[in-house]
């Protein structure tokens, strides 16, 4: 990523990276769910599970954060500033800090990183992007 890209492009890159991480986490959780409960038969069934099953509930924190970021990107009448980028970078770092002790997203994110190399790679990519955005 170029450090001289504008704030809107920087937030757009952050959004795309978070969506990719979200997909990786969904794929990882699906594997665990199917190992415990059997094959998920259709995309519609998977969608219903993601939206309502407790197994996937921890991922809704990330989903909601992505919605907030995308809503900000959608505000065309309010310019995105370097301060906006700094704020979302800080909030993303806080959200994506895994914890071995505790509950909710940080604990489940930690567990996903421990069990799935794809999540490790996605997390490393997020850290690299956040570092790049912070330097911009």
Whole-model pTM: value is: 0.91
Residue from 121, 128, 59 nearest 93 by CA: 128
24-82: pLDDT as tens digits:
999 999 999 999 999 999 999 999 999 999 999 999 999 999 999 999 999 988 899 99
* CA-to-CA dists, residue 47 to 23, 37, 43, 106, 121, angstroms: 12, 16, 6, 23, 25
94-131: pLDDT as tens digits:
999 999 987 899 999 999 999 999 999 999 999 999 99
Q: What is the CA radius of gyration of the chain?
A: 16
């Amino acid at each position: 990523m170029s450090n001289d890209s504008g704030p809107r492009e920087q937030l757009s890159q952050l959004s795309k990276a978070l969506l990719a991480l979200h997909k990786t986490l969904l794929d990882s959780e699906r594997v665990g769910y199917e190992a415990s409960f059997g094959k998920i038969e259709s995309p519609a069934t998977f969608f219903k599970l993601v939206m309502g099953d407790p197994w996937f509930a921890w991922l809704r924190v990330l989903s909601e954060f992505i919605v907030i970021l995308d809503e900000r990107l959608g505000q065309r009448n309010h310019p995105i500033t370097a301060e906006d980028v700094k704020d979302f970078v800080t909030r993303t770092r806080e959200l994506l800090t895994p914890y071995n002790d505790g509950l909710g997203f940080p604990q489940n994110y930690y567990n996903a990183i421990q069990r799935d190399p794809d999540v490790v790679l996605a997390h490393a990519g997020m850290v690299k992007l956040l570092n790049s955005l912070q330097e911009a």
